[in-house]
Each structure stands twice: as C-alpha cells, then as structure tokens.
C-alpha cells in the first residue's frame, strides 16, 4: 500500500547506485532533480561472510567500510545536498532521500535464484554448522536521509516529514523483501556519538540480510516454545500493566517487563502486521505523531539529547509472517545524566544481563518526560 500524497522520484548516482527521493505531502520542492556528475571509483566488491562454529552465526567481513567518512564538518557533509566544494552523495535538495550505501556490509551482489524453494534450501544450508565456512555477503544496505539539514534526528522532524520517512520505510521494506536472497529487512536509526555514530546528519539505515538474524532466530524459538499468540498476549498484558507510556488507536509504547537497558521502550501495532509494508495508511499517520512524542520524551529525560538505537524488528521475509509482528525496540545506555551503561563481563561475554534500574520506575520517569513535550 502506498500513500498517493507522497511522491516517489527515482534517480541514479554516478557509479550506478540507486537514489530515491520521497517528497513530503506538503512539499515545496519542484519535481526536477539534478544529475550526479561526479567521477567516482568503481563500487567495492561484495564482502564475504564467515561462520562462527561455536554459535552458528555469520559475520560479514566488509573491509571497505574502513574508508567511510568519520564525523565530517558541516561543509563536507556527504548526506547534504551537493553544492560547490561539497561533492556529496545527493545531487539535489530533498525532503527525504534513500540511496544505496557506498560501503555496504551486504551487497550489491544478490542471489542467483530467488524462488521460495531456493530460499528454503539456502536457509537450511546457512543454519548448518561447519569449520571455516564462507559465503558471499549478498543483500543490500541503504541510507535513509531524514532531512537535508546537517544536524538533528528523527525526533526533531515535523509530523509531515516523519510521515514521509515512515512511507519510505514501507516502500523500501516491500522492495528489498522482493530481492533474490534477502531473508530479513531491518530499518534502524543510530543516534549519538556514544552509540558510535559516524555522521551527525539526521539519517537512518536499512539492511537487507541474506539470513535470519540471530536476535530474530531467538524470537522464532520463543514463538515455537510459547505458541503463535505470543505477540497478541504480550501486548494485551502490557496494555493493562504499569509500564505503558503512550497508547493510541493503532499503537502502544511501553517499557518491557524484562528491560535490559537503562532506557528501553518497545512499540507494537495493535493488529498483527509483519512489517512496515503491511501497515495501513491510518497506522502510518498515527505512528508519525506518536513516535515523535516518544522520541522527544526520551530526550526530555535529561538536559541534553539521549543517545539511542531505534531498531525496527520485522518478520523474516519467508518465515512465520503470521506469527512475528513488527516491533520497535528503542534502547539507550544512558543510566543517568552523566553516566552510561557499559557492557562488561556478564553482558558482553556471557549475554547474561543485569538491569541498573527497575522497568517500572523508568516507565514512570518516561511518562513524566513525555508529558512535558509537544508535537
């Protein structure tokens, strides 16, 4: 489902990468877009993956990423519109722009055969375990620019612009899910130097993986153990509990019962939808405002903006789509105004988490912070 109010305009960068503009419903931009006339080096070869036989997990070895830009000044921002002295990635001014990453962790090579039968066989083969196994890191990585401005984040956008980004997530989820060899699509935003952000420009990313990610595989195991109503039952319990932060007609945000991070918020749609592509226009409209309230509330916890990872978990492309529901998991290591939670021995080495604050007290603080913000 696409929103006819938001125009989609396709283009190509000088090295052949795809660039897509998404115009706000109330855009003031003309329809014409500039041509990328840069002289670029050829795209790097697709990376390769190596399997850890102790866990069965795959690690993409993408050495080309060592050359990516690190915290550039505003006049050399690679995500700003091109101008004299700044040959950036986007040749025209824009509302929202999506393009293929110049230094991807996955892709641009794709699988030769994208049939369901081939996908099932490939998944089974990837889940087997052996020594010194390698595979090509097929898939795709895209950058989602939320604004042409050098500074900001999703939470600083207007409602109209937030709605455009959500439309871009839905559009790209559908397109990337249809690529041969792609098994899961993951939109996310990293915000803050403390998280490891290398570009201050307001943006997120979308990864299209050639496998079902380890975190989602654990979720599939939980669904198998609990039953197909896991998400519906979880949402019903949380909506009637003490950790709800915001609830609307279509979405509810809450602090989870077993929160790992000092700041952790989950957001679920009320009806079952596996990914953004399956959401209705009404659900996207409400999400634009509700999500802005949530992010601005997280920032209102302290006097300075809070670093976070906003991770939109979506159902695998080919598995359990009637059981795994779209879900935001927003996490921050900020445990006080001037303190961060660092993953030490128990969490980093053993995956055995210890919470620093109770989820109920953090939910109370977040509700108060959300009550102080406006959208």
pLDDT at 70: 78
Q: Would you name the residues annotated as active-site residues?
A: 203
- Of 266, 239, 234, 238, the closest CA to residue 253 belongs to 266
Q: What percent of the chain has pLDDT over 70?
A: 99
CATH ID of 1-211, from 2.60.40.1510, 2.60.40.10, 3.30.428.10, 3.40.50.300: 3.30.428.10
pLDDT at 112: 87
Residue 73 CA: distances (Å) to CA of 32, 77, 204, 370, 375: 28, 6, 19, 32, 29
Is the pLDDT score of 114 beyond 80? no
CATH class name, domain 214-375: alpha beta
Please report which confidence band the pLDDT of residue 117 belongs to, taking 50, 70 and 90 as the band edges: low
Is the pLDDT score of 50 beyond 90? yes
Better pLDDT: 1 or 329: 329
- d(CA 159, CA 285) in angstroms, rounded, equals 9
Is the pLDDT score of 84 beyond 80? yes
Cis peptide before 108 (omega within 30 of 0): yes
Is the pLDDT score of 368 beyond 70? yes
Place of tokens 């912070």: 369
Q: Using one digit for the tens of pLDDT, what is the confidence trace for 241-251?
A: 999 999 999 99
Is the pLDDT score of 181 beyond 90? yes
134: β partners: 50
- d(CA 71, CA 374) in angstroms, rounded, equals 30
pLDDT at 196: 85
The average pLDDT across 92-104 equals: 97
Q: Using one digit for the tens of pLDDT, what is the confidence trace for 2-39?
A: 999 999 999 999 999 999 999 999 999 999 999 999 99
Q: Using one digit for the tens of pLDDT, what is the confidence trace for 244-301?
A: 999 999 999 999 999 999 999 999 999 999 999 999 999 999 999 999 999 999 999 9
Same fold, 1-211 and 214-375: yes
- d(CA 49, CA 40) in angstroms, rounded, equals 26
Residue 10: phi and psi, rounded to 5, are -100, 145
- d(CA 68, CA 240) in angstroms, rounded, equals 46
Is the pLDDT score of 192 beyond 70? yes
Please report which confidence band the pLDDT of residue 64 belongs to, taking 50, 70 and 90 as the band edges: confident
b/e 91-122 (16+ beta carbons within 10 angstroms → b): bbbbbbbbbbbbbbbbbbbbbeeeeeeebeeb
pLDDT at 68: 75
Q: What percent of the chain has pLDDT over 90?
A: 90
| Radius of gyration for the chain, computed over Cα atoms and rounded to the nearest angstrom | 21
Q: Tell me the domain boundaries of the chain.
A: 1-211, 214-375
Least confident residue range of 40-49, 118-127, 226-235: 118-127
What is the average pLDDT score of the chain? Answer: 95
Least confident residue range of 154-158, 191-195, 196-200, 336-340: 196-200
The average pLDDT across 58-76 equals: 86
pLDDT at 54: 97
Lateral strand order in the sheet of 140-145: 7-12, 18-23, 96-100, 140-145, 203-209, 184-191, 308-313, 327-332, 263-269, 251-254, 244-247
The average pLDDT across 139-165 equals: 97
Please report which confidence band the pLDDT of residue 115 belongs to, taking 50, 70 and 90 as the band edges: low
pTM to 2 decimal places: 0.96
pLDDT at 34: 94
Q: Using one digit for the tens of pLDDT, what is the confidence trace for 307-330?
A: 999 999 999 999 999 999 999 999
């Amino acid at each position: 489902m696409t929103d006819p109010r938001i125009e989609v305009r396709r283009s190509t960068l000088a090295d052949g990468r795809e660039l897509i503009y998404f115009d706000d419903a109330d855009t003031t931009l003309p329809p014409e877009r500039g041509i990328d006339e840069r002289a670029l080096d050829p795209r790097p070869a697709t990376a390769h993956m190596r399997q850890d036989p102790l866990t069965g997990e795959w690690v993409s070895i993408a050495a080309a990423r060592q050359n990516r830009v690190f915290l550039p000044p505003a006049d050399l921002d690679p995500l700003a519109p091109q101008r004299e002295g700044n040959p950036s990635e986007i040749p025209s001014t824009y509302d929202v722009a999506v393009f293929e990453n110049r230094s991807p962790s996955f892709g641009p090579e794709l699988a030769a055969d994208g049939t369901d039968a081939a996908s099932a066989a490939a998944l089974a083969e990837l889940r087997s375990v052996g020594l010194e196994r390698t595979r090509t890191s097929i898939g795709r990585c895209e950058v989602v620019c939320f604004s042409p401005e050098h500074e900001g984040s999703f939470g600083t956008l207007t409602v109209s612009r937030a709605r455009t980004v959500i439309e871009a997530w839905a559009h790209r989820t559908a397109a990337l899910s249809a690529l041969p060899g792609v098994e899961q699509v993951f939109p996310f935003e990293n915000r803050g130097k403390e998280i490891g952000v290398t570009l201050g420009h307001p943006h997120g990313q979308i990864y299209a993986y050639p496998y079902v990610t380890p975190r989602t595989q654990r979720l599939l195991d939980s669904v198998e153990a609990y039953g197909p109503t896991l998400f519906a039952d979880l949402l019903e319990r949380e909506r009637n509990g003490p950790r709800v932060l915001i609830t609307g007609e279509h979405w509810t945000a809450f602090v989870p019962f077993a929160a790992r991070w000092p700041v952790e918020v989950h957001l679920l749609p009320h009806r079952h939808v596996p990914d953004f592509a399956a959401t209705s226009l009404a659900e996207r409209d409400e999400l634009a405002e509700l999500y802005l309230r949530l992010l601005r509330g997280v920032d209102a916890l302290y006097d300075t903006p809070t670093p976070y990872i906003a991770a939109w978990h979506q159902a695998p492309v080919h598995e359990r789509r009637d059981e795994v529901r779209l879900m935001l998991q927003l996490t921050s290591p900020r445990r006080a105004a001037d303190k961060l939670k660092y993953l030490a021995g128990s969490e980093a080495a053993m995956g055995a988490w210890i919470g620093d604050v109770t989820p109920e007290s953090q939910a109370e603080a977040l509700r108060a912070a959300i009550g102080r913000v406006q959208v």
